[in-house]
Structure 1
Amino acid sequence: MRIKQSFGERMFDVFNVALLLVTCGVVLLPLMHVVAGSLSETNALIHAKVTIWPVGFNFDNYILVFKNQTFWQSFGITAFVVLVGTALNMLLTIFTGYPLSKSFLRGRKYVMLFIVFTMIFTAPMIPSYLLVKMLGMMNSVWALIIPSALAAFNLILCITFFRGLPEELFEAARVDGMNEYRVVAQIAMPLSMPIIVTLALFYSVAHWNNYYSALLYITDPDLRPLQLYLYNLLAQFDTSDTLTYMSNTVTYDISPQGLQMATIIVATLPIVIIYPFIQKHFIKGAMIGSLKE
């Protein structure tokens, strides 16, 4: 049965829908402009004729991006950091969160206090830079992985989830002769797939979007991840590698602005394609730990 709404409730719904439509327009219009610019002719871009619809379809910018070896090299470095970094993140998070979820662990409160302390007082930029340099990780992909190997917030979420698992299962497994490593691998992890998937998504998206660490620790152009490549392309207006390639091939109808837009679209597509399928896990991850028995 449909409940009849009052005039105030209907006006509230209309206001919400209007506000959401305006918000969507503010978010989508710049993106539509970038897509349109990447598909427009150079002359239209030069004379600022492009709004949210391409002026004269032109795919040369995308052809140059897909043929740009520097772009794909940066893409490969980012893919390596995401895969290896996320695997290391999850390994440390699970094998740190499981013992800390046990109330009988000696010194647990002091370890938790130290973890919370790192959340409130993070290391400044200069000491972090000097530490990475002293460890010999400058100009190395490990400088993008090791310093962020364990996130305190994600660890607390994992601890909170492990606490909700029935302790009787673990006791029964220990009685049957299982050691703690088998208990984690064969009981705790299968029961914790929601939090494992959620935290893996958190870690992987953070690695994908991270450019600040690369800006600090990477100076070798051959080791630039994708986000640092985009930073140089946009902030420094560096399109020299692609334009050099263009000069040695057939003539293309491209401009630095159109090339930038096409590169942004190609670099953004993977996360845009994947996100609709993982959105529910992000919502679930935001709810985990919000309730306590």
Structure 2
Amino acid sequence: METVRRKSLGQACPEKPSNPALWTGYRNTLTIVAGGIVLNVSLTVLAAYVLSRRNVLWNKFLTIFIVVTMFFNAGLIPFYLVVKGLGMMNTLWALLLPFAIKTFHLIIVRTAFLSLPPELEESAQIDGANHLTTLLKIVVPLSMPVISVIVLYTAVDKWNMWFIPSVFIQDRTLYPLQLVLREILINDATDNISFGAGVGEARKIGETIKYATIVIATLPVLFIYPFLQKYFVKGALIGAVKG
């Protein structure tokens, strides 16, 4: 009799609110942020180093050609067809490879590289350093404030990405956190989380979940930003004082 009573009480008690999509979205977003930082920073630094060389053939032409892409693009439909033709639909690669380099970031890093004294690189070349050694041992360490700013810009951009995933991602297990958050906030998709509660209680739980989800989605950026904020001043002033 006691066992039956415990079972009936257990059936009457509502289940604890839970939503596995939140943790899946977190995992996908962290993957996108990490992959985006690695691709964007590495390719941007390499491209900026090439464009900052003063003796490279067609240097000015390549710079102008790259800058033009900031003002002109083919639009969303050709972009969609290209991604689909490359077989990246419904994969996280569709959120990483097409955005591996941003022209604005490339121009910032190139300007920072140009502001470095050329004597440093010339002395390294006299000592036998090749371009890779010069980049890794001299250029990158002296440009860390600017690179840190690019890392923060890229991380925030990938963290807040929702429109492009909504176009290329149909598998719900690949949804980033912002798409899950959008469903909760706009589509009021809190039924699975507040399952087992009454109408009034479910409404209160839904509102609480919305506010809690906003905080959860904002906290990582708020924690990282103070540690990189000091680099903004250095990145803005780099090259302003020359010895």
TM (norm. structure 2) is 0.84
Q: In 2, are the aligned partners of 1:218 and 1:224 still within 8 Å (CA)?
A: yes
1:80: which partner in 2? 31
Alignment of 1:11-22 (within 5 A): none
Deviations, residues 185-208 of structure 1 (Å, cap 9, x unaligned):
111111111111111111111111
Mapping for residues 9-158 of structure 1, pairs under 5 Å: 64=17, 67-158=18-109
Shift of 1:257: 2.3
**Residue in 2 aligned with 1:188?**
139
Contact 1:157–1:289 (8 Å) recurs in 2: no
For the pair 1:175 / 2:126, whether they are aligned, the reply is: yes
Query: How big is each residue's C-alpha offset from its partner over 1:23-61, in whole Å with a ceiling of 9 and x where there is no partner?
Result: xxxxxxxxxxxxxxxxxxxxxxxxxxxxxxxxxxxxx9x
Structure 1: 5+ residue stretches without partners: 1-59
* Structure 1 residues 291 and 187: alpha-carbon distance in aligned structure 2, compared to 1, 3 A threshold: closer
In the alignment, the residues of structure 2 paired with residue 94 and residue 199 of structure 1 have an alpha-carbon distance, to the nearest angstrom, of: 10
User: Does the 8 Å CA contact 1:77/1:225 hold for their aligned counterparts?
Assistant: yes
**Counterpart contact for 1:198–1:284, Cα < 8 Å:** no
Aligned to 1:260: 210
Structure 1 distance, partners of 2:138, 2:224, is 29
* Residue of structure 1 aligned with 2:219, choices 257, 264, 269: 269
Q: Which runs of 5+ in 2 are unaligned?
A: 1-13
**CA contact under 8 A between 1:137 and 1:143: conserved in structure 2?**
yes
Measured in 2, the distance between the counterparts of 1:125 and 1:283 equals 36
Q: 227, 231, 239: which one pairs with 1:281?
A: 231
AA partner of residue 268 (structure 1): T
2:187 is paired with a residue of what secondary structure? coil
Counterpart amino acid of residue 176 in structure 2: P
Choose which of 221, 232, 236 in structure 1 pairs with 2:172: 221
Match of 1:200 in 2: 151
The AA in structure 2 aligned to 1:117 is V
CA distance in 2, matches of 1:220, 1:87: 25
d(CA) in 1 for partners of 2:110, 2:123:
21
Cα distance, 1:187–1:149 mapped onto 2, change above 3 Å: same
How many residues are matched? 224
Matched, 1:159 2:110: yes
The AA in structure 1 aligned to 2:159 is: W
Any conservation in 2 of the 1:157–1:288 contact (CA below 8 Å)? no
Looking at structure 2, the residues matched to 288 and 98 of structure 1 have their Cα atoms a distance apart, in angstroms, of: 20
2-structure distance, mates of 1:126, 1:70:
29
Give the deviation of 1:174 after TM superposition. 1.5
| Cα contact 2:116–2:239 (8 A) shared by 1 | no
**Identity over aligned residues, as a percent?**
39
Query: In the aligned structure 2, how far is the partner of 1:92 from the partner of 1:273?
Result: 26
In 1: Cα distance, 2:126 partner to 2:184 partner: 60
**What is the alpha-carbon distance in structure 2 between the residues aligned to residue 150 and residue 116 of structure 1?**
12
Q: Quick one: which amino acid aligns to residue 153 of structure 2? A: F
Deviations 1:235-281 (A, max 9, x none): 222224424xx449xxx865322222221121112112322333333
